[in-house]
Structures are given as C-alpha cells and as structure tokens.
Amino acid sequence: MNNTVQYDIASIRDDFPILQRKIFGKPLVYLDNAASTQRPVQVINAIKDLYEGHYANVHRGVHTLSQESTNLYNEARAKVRSFIHASCVHEVVFTRGTTESINLVAQCYARPRLRPGDEILITHMEHHSNIVPWQMVCEQTGAILKVVPISDKGELEMERFHELLGEKTKLVSVVQVSNALGTVNPVKEIIAAAHAFGVPVLVDGAQAVPHIPIDVQKLDADFYAFSGHKIYGPTGVGVLYGKEKLLSEMPPYQGGGDMILSVSFEKTTYNQLPYKFEAGTPNIAGVIGLGAAIDYVQKVGLGIIAAHEHGLLEYATARLRDIDGLRIIGEANQKAGLISFVLDCVHPHDIGTMLDGEGVAVRAGHHCAQPVMERYGVPATARASFAMYNTFGEIDVLAEAIKKTIQMFK
C-alpha cells in the first residue's frame, strides 16, 4: 500500500453522505467515478441554500431574490473562469454538459465554415459525444471525418496524427483523458501542431478536469468542454470555453430568452457573450452547485488529489495484474485513475452484477466508446475508476470480489 501521500481521506469521505450507504449489507465501494462522481455536502448544501433562501430567476428581476440569485450565478461563472484560467468570463458558456458543448461548436463554428472535401480530425479513442456530432456535420456539409489510430497499449499513434493533419484539416477534436482506457493524451503537442496549419482545436476535458489542473491559455486550446457531474457537481450543467474571438464570430445555437438584446418582428439583436449561447432560463441551481464543487476541489487541491489517485491507480494495477485470467485494456504510459479490464470466463455485465453483490460499484459495457471496444476485439469491459474519496482498502475489496467472481463462474 502506498502511504507516501499525506492525505486526510477520512475527513474527505465524511463530506460525502452516500459513502455511508450499504449495498446488500456491505459497505459501498463506489468505483464508477468516470461515469459520474458523488457530491459532497458542500455542493448539496449550496443547492439547498439557494432554493430555501435565495431562489428567483436570474438577470431579469429588480427584486432582492432575483438580484441574490444573479449574484450567486455570476460568482459561479467567475469561479469557472479562474479554475480553467480563461482570460475573461465572456469565454465561459454554460451548457447542459460536454455533449451539448461539442454539439454547439459543431453546429455554430464548424458547420458554417466547412465545404465538401474539408476534413475534421478526431481519434480512435473518442467518446460517442465526440464522434457523432462530427459525423452529423460531415453529412450536412460534405466534409470528411479522419481518425487517428491508437496502439495496442492505448496510446495515440502520433506519427499518424502528424501525417493526417494537413491543409484540408479544418478542425481537430480530441479527448484529453480517455473514458474507456484512462490514457492521458498529449493535447498541448496536438494543439501546437494543429495551430501550425492554422487549425483550431476542441478538447474534450470531461475526464480531465477532476484529475488534472487545467490552464486553457497555456494549452492554447480554442475550445474546451467539460461536465459538472464529473467533478463532484450536479448533473445537467457543463461548460464550453471558447476563445472570445471565435465565439464572437459564431452564430447563436438556440433562440429565445437571455440570448437576445431586443426583438421585433423585423429583426432580433443578439446579446453579448456569453449570453448569446445561453437561451432560455438557465440551470441556476446546477451552475451554483458547480461553483461549490469547484470551491471544494480547490480547497482539497487538485495536485494532492492527483497524487492520491495516481497512488490508487498504481496499487490497483498491481493487484489486478496478479489475478489469473484478468486482462487490462489500455496500459498507456500516461494514465488517469481508471482501469478497464476483462475476464477470460465472465462477461463484463456479469462482472458488474457479481461485484454489486459485494457492494462494489463499477461500470460494465462499451462506455459510449464502441470503436475502442472494436479496436481491442471485446464487446465490452468492466471499468473501475477512482476519485479523491477512494481508499487503498477499497482496492483490496475490488480485487477480492473479482477473485470471488472468477471462482463462481469456474
């Protein structure tokens, strides 16, 4: 067990009420964090406090409650700006999540600019949310989707990336951390290479923001997308960062509500950034909850969290490698805290069911990354993914539960 990192894990776990649950009479071991993390009481209380003491619609009212809600909402946007190191709050657009953020860029940035024969470059390890929007845009415009292959270890074949990148490339969209493999991609190198051709880059940061400090200016990312529920915040809220110049040139995504300055039957004048892309009443509680989640993560410290999760990853990798009949899918040199695996004698869905009987929650399936499954010749994997509140003891429970599963199916 790795005890080198000084970490008040007991105090952190006390902040997450759901971790006190028992499943089939056994302590919950929650290892499905890549799908969605749990929420600390600080986030739960921020949402509860809003509804109990301050709630009203934002931006429209002159009364006290509306002004209080608006102030809390605006403070949350400022927290996001600081967290990802955007240059200004105008570059932070609230969406329903990473998926909507990518679709917004596909329809409002890419679609008006693409012509038949133009190319969009993605990778073989993308989540469906970073594949399907580009396929739709290609169908709409006649553009062509190009895909960077991945190695047996689960790493991008960077030589092929540089070969595929060229004068026809009009946009690159790449995941920073693979949700199916855990691979951490060299996005800074990718962005620099794309910019040498004048090509903008969208980074899917859904799996990165809970684990890696993000500075969109240092990365020089043109667009960056992530979801609140991956970083201990509410569901139904996410962020699209975009460089102000690019966002300013893009048409709105939807019409109505906050995205207008004035409307007549002859003409509508659109609002300034970021409101131009935030039609309708926003997810006020979700945004404020996201702000509280960012406060919580920053209080603990992303660097400390990352060190703890890396220790968990190393320990879990060693424990699982010792299990006969278990194969880890994705062993990149640079990985975040998740392990996808298969067993010789058990389907992943059965693994998930058996582990649940031991109180262990893992994800089983294709993880919305079917091309990755096809690449490794498996229908699905079981995936254990780690968060700041997981312990080395929970890894031991996981390993023993897997061994018990193997014995049951033998």
- Residue 94, domain member (yes or no): yes
Tokens of residue 215, six digits: 């500075």
- Residue 3, domain member (yes or no): no
Does 342 lie in the same domain as 215? no
- Residue 204, domain member (yes or no): yes
Indicate the number of domains in the chain.
2
Contact 241, 86 (CB under 8 A): yes
Q: Centre a 10 Å sphere on the Cβ of residue 146 and count the other Cβ atoms it contains.
A: 19
- Residue 387, domain member (yes or no): yes
Does 401 lie in the same domain as 363? yes
DSSP 8-state symbol, 265 = S
| Res 224: pLDDT | 98
Query: What are the pLDDT tens digits along the chain (410 aa)?
Result: 444 446 899 999 999 999 999 999 999 999 999 999 999 999 999 999 999 999 999 987 899 999 999 999 999 999 999 999 999 999 999 999 999 999 999 999 999 999 999 999 999 999 999 999 999 999 999 999 999 999 999 999 999 999 999 999 999 999 999 999 999 999 999 999 999 999 999 999 999 999 999 999 999 999 999 999 999 999 999 999 999 999 999 999 999 888 888 888 989 888 899 999 999 999 999 999 999 999 999 999 999 999 999 999 999 999 999 999 999 999 999 999 999 999 998 999 999 999 999 999 999 989 998 999 999 999 999 999 999 999 999 999 999 999 999 999 98
Tokens of residue 6, six digits: 């000084």
Tokens of residue 162, six digits: 């540089």
Choose the catalytic residue: 88, 138, 345, 368: 368
Residues ≥6 apart with Cβ < 8 Å to 164: 121, 146, 148
Does 120 lie in the same domain as 180? yes
Continuous H helices in 204-283 = 216-219, 244-249
CATH assignment of the domain containing 368: 3.90.1150.10
Does 307 lie in the same domain as 295? no
Tokens of residue 43, six digits: 């986030």
Does 274 lie in the same domain as 140? yes
- Residue 1, domain member (yes or no): no
Does 211 lie in the same domain as 130? yes
Burial of 115: CB neighbours in 10 Å, binned 0-12, 13-18, 19+ = exposed
Contact 383, 367 (CB under 8 A): yes
Residue 389 belongs to domain spanning: 9-39+301-409
User: Directed axis angle between helix 41-49 and helix 284-300, to 10°?
Assistant: 150
Please indicate whether residue 108 is annotated as part of the active site. no
Please give the Cα distance from 274 to 292 (Å, whole number). 21
Please give the Cα distance from 189 to 352 (Å, whole number). 37
- Residue 4, domain member (yes or no): no
| Res 261: pLDDT | 86
User: Directed axis angle between helix 392-409 and helix 302-321, to 10°?
Assistant: 30
Contact 154, 125 (CB under 8 A): yes
State the residue for tokens 């061994």.
403
| Res 6: pLDDT | 66
Does 48 lie in the same domain as 29? no
Continuous H helices in 28-114 = 41-49, 64-84, 98-105, 111-113
Does 338 lie in the same domain as 278? no
CATH assignment of the domain containing 78: 3.40.640.10
Global confidence as pTM:
0.96
- Residue 2, domain member (yes or no): no
Does 291 lie in the same domain as 357? no
Please give the Cα distance from 74 to 381 (Å, whole number). 41
Pick from 279, 299, 319: which residue ends a domain? Answer: 299
| Res 3: pLDDT | 43
Pick from 299, 317, 333: which residue ends a domain? Answer: 299
Contact 381, 346 (CB under 8 A): no
Pick from 245, 264, 299: which residue ends a domain? Answer: 299
- What CA–CA distances, in Å, run from 68 to 50, 73, 90, 144, 261? 9, 9, 21, 48, 22
Does 324 lie in the same domain as 285? no
Please give the Cα distance from 285 to 268 (Å, whole number). 29
Please give the Cα distance from 91 to 183 (Å, whole number). 28
| Res 64: pLDDT | 96
Does 211 lie in the same domain as 73? yes
SS3 303: helix
Does 49 lie in the same domain as 33? no
- Residue 312, domain member (yes or no): yes
Please give the Cα distance from 306 to 311 (Å, whole number). 9
